[in-house]
Amino acid sequence: MAISKEQVRHVAKLARLSLTDEEVQMYTGQMNDILTFAEKLNELDTENVEPTSHVLDMANVLREDQNRPSLDRDQTLRNAPDKQDGMFRVPAVFEE
């Protein structure tokens, strides 16, 4: 087994997903299948191979550090599930 139920629960927590017991069961089986399939890559010797993170030959694309117009605050808040006084509103972060 590449991955256990406990590990699946742990990964879900890292990914901020809450899973039912049925989902844990399902994902454990499916992730095992996929990870077992991925172990095929170990057949290849990649000792002296550089990794490719993306295909273009470019790095550190910079622009002048100048002020530019940005999104309007009221407009931006139009899509917010909850807002107050021109800000996004979320449940309390600290316990009282």
Partner 1 sequence: MSLLKQPIRVLHKQLKNREISAVDLAEDSLKRIGETDDQLGTFLYKDEEGVRERARQLDERKGDLTPLSALPLGVKDNISTKNMLTTAGSKILANYTPLYNATVMEHLEKEQVNLVGKMNMDEFGMGSSNENSGYFEVRNPWDLNRVPGGSSGGSAAAVASNQVSFALGSDTGGSIRQPAAFCGVVGLKPTYGRVSRFGLIAFASSLDQIGPITRNVEDAAYVLQTIAGHDPMDSTSADVDVPDYLSSLSGDINGLQVAVPQEWMGEGIDSGVKEKVKRALQVLEREGAVVEEVSLPHMDYAVAAYYLLAPAEASSNLARYDGVRYGHRIEGENLVDMFERTRSNGFGDEVKRRIMLGTYSLSSGYYDAYYLKAQKVRTLIRQDFEKIFNRYDVVVGPTAPTTAFKMKEKTVDPLTMYLNDICTIPVSLAGLPAISLPCGLSEGLPVGLQIIGRPFDETGVLKVAHAYEQQREPLPEPNAVGGEV
- List contacts with partner 1 (CB under 8 A): 3, 7-8, 11-12, 14-19, 23, 27, 30-31, 33-35, 37-38, 40-44, 46, 49-56, 58, 61, 63, 71-72, 75-76, 78-82, 88, 90-93
Closest approach, Cβ 45 to partner 1, in A, equals: 10
Structure tokens at 95: 């316990």
Identify the DSSP state of 9: H
Give dist(CA 94, CA 78) in Å, integer: 27
Closest approach, Cβ 86 to partner 1, in A, equals: 13
Backbone angles phi, psi at 22, to 5 degrees: -65, -40
Closest approach, Cβ 76 to partner 1, in A, equals: 7
23 contact partners, CB below 8 Å, separation of at least 6: none
